[in-house]
């Protein structure tokens, strides 16, 4: 019997993330105790925690898990594993090992299906040359899977989201639209070419982040996931004390998004995202679909990179060595009334 995993989940992939505004209310605290070796912690709103080992290197620690974004169990495991490792690469590090986080409705879906989820994750870990070294499981009302990943970085190569400077050029390494595409999957409206391209994107490791960490002109880096491109760019701008301008037509996108939006294939996470940060965005073109694409929750999305103008040529040469052909999507600017201006 085939089990369509998305039928068991209320939201798909990173679209089930709690919205930025609500998350701020959950995480707000007045922590007075400090840890000198904690280079990046909860207060930084960055991709992962970073702890100085005292020898010029640091440990990176992150976790990510979500409900099914595709029906196939093996592919669900692959996507979740790639997504979880992305935070390590976004900080400029390399993963060392992973442990699994599994919630499973054991009375509704056989354990053999969960086994295939784990096998998909093992495949990705093998490709990343790390062990899937253990994990924890619970009986839960809907399927949940992800990884906790430990990585390592040379501190001088550590990339954060707060280093962007006015004049930096912005690049995005994967196309937008995964949330829209996966909503089309749940509604049985997806065209075959969209499925193939979305799967290729979601299962592509962001290993280029480790390479980019060695390039001095890469001033800031983050991965684009559940808060959408706008949400993660706003975080970068707020952390850096800047604003930004992006060019909608230059942003890479998966095909047929307009058609799916016309058929109401918009994940609930998009609207939660916009409610959280829409007031910080200036949309020159008031096209509703433009907003829905830019706030679309991405699962296993690409890296958003801010590059100094004098380093752009070196950046483009470096990404071409791993098969990426990129174009600028915008610029970092001096702080203005809004954080992001869409043109």
Q: What is the domain-level CATH number for residue 244?
A: 3.90.650.10
Domain boundary (157, 189, 222) is at 157
Expressed in percent and rounded to 5, the helix, strand and coil fractions of the chain are 40, 25, 35
Q: How confident is the model at residue 16 (pLDDT cuts 50, 70, 90)?
A: low
In a domain, 33, yes or no: yes
The answer to whether residue 97 scores a pLDDT higher than 80 is yes
Whether 182 and 115 share a structural domain: no
In a domain, 163, yes or no: no
Neighbour count for residue 314 (Cβ, 10 Å): 15
What pLDDT, in 10s, does the model give residues 267-294? 988 999 999 999 999 998 778 899 999 9
Rounded CA-CA distance 29/333 in Å is 31
The CATH number assigned to the domain holding 17 equals 3.30.1330.10
Please give the backbone phi and psi of residue 102, each rounded to the nearest 5 degrees, phi first.
-130, 125
Whether 137 and 192 share a structural domain: no
At which residue do the structure tokens 């290729």 appear? 200
Contact (CB, 8 A) for 82 and 303:
no
Known active-site residue 265: no
Whether 151 and 185 share a structural domain: no
Identify the bridge partners of residue 95 per DSSP, sorted by sequence position.
Answer: 151
Identify the bridge partners of residue 36 per DSSP, sorted by sequence position.
Answer: none
Among candidate residues 87, 97, 84, the one with its CA nearest the CA of residue 147: 84
**pLDDT score for 15:** 53
Domain boundary (131, 157, 183) is at 157
The answer to whether residue 107 scores a pLDDT higher than 90 is yes
Total domains present in the chain = 2
In a domain, 162, yes or no: no
Whether 264 and 209 share a structural domain: yes
Neighbour count for residue 167 (Cβ, 10 Å): 15
Among candidate residues 3, 40, 60, 48, the one with its CA nearest the CA of residue 225: 48
* Strand ranges of the sheet holding 218-223, from the earlier edge strand across to the other edge: 218-223, 303-307, 169-172, 330-334, 242-246, 340-342, 281-283
Rounded CA-CA distance 222/90 in Å is 5
Whether 145 and 17 share a structural domain: yes
Q: What average pLDDT is seen over the chain?
A: 92
Rounded CA-CA distance 125/128 in Å is 5
Q: What is the DSSP letter of 118?
A: H
Q: Look at residue 271 and give its three-state secondary structure.
A: helix
Range of the domain at 78: 5-157
CA trace torsion 195, 200, 205, 210 (10° rounding) = -120
Contact (CB, 8 A) for 240 and 163:
yes
Whether 173 and 147 share a structural domain: no
Whether 134 and 216 share a structural domain: no
In a domain, 34, yes or no: yes
In a domain, 294, yes or no: yes
Provide mean pLDDT across the span 47-70.
95
**Candidates 14, 16, 125, 265; catalytic one:** 14
Instruction: Give pTM, 2 decimals.
Output: 0.92
At which residue do the structure tokens 């909503």 appear? 183
């Amino acid at each position: 019997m085939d089990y369509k995993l998305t039928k068991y989940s209320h939201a798909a992939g990173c679209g089930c993330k709690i919205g930025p505004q609500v998350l701020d209310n959950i995480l707000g605290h007045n922590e007075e105790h400090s840890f000198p070796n904690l280079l990046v912690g909860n207060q930084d709103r960055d991709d992962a925690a970073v702890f100085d080992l005292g020898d010029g290197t640091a440990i990176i620690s992150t976790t990510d898990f979500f409900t099914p974004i595709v029906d196939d169990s093996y592919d669900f495991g692959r996507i979740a594993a790639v997504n979880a490792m992305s935070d390590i690469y976004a900080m400029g590090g390399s993963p060392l090992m992973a442990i699994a986080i599994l919630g499973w409705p054991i009375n509704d879906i056989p354990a053999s299906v969960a086994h295939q989820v784990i096998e998909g994750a093992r495949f990705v870990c093998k490709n990343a040359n790390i062990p899937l070294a253990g994990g924890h499981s619970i009986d839960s009302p809907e399927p949940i899977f992800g990884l906790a990943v430990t990585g390592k970085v040379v501190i001088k190569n550590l990339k954060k989201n707060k280093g962007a400077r006015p004049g930096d050029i912005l690049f995005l390494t994967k196309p937008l639209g995964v949330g829209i595409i996966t909503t089309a999957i749940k509604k049985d409206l997806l065209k075959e070419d969209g499925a193939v391209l979305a799967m290729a994107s979601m299962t592509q490791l962001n290993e280029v982040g480790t390479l980019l960490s060695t390039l001095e002109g890469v001033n800031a880096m983050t991965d684009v996931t559940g808060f959408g491109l706008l949400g993660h760019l706003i975080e970068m701008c707020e952390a850096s004390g800047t604003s930004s301008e992006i060019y909608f037509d230059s942003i890479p996108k998966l095909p047929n998004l307009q058609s799916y939006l016309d058929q109401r294939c918009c994940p609930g996470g998009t609207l939660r995202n916009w409610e959280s940060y829409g007031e910080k965005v200036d949309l020159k073109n008031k096209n509703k679909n433009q907003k829905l694409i830019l706030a679309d929750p991405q699962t296993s999305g690409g890296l958003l990179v801010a590059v100094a103008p004098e380093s752009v040529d070196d950046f483009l040469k470096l990404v071409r060595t791993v098969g990426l052909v990129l174009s600028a999507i915008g610029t970092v600017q001096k702080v203005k009334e809004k954080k992001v201006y869409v043109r």
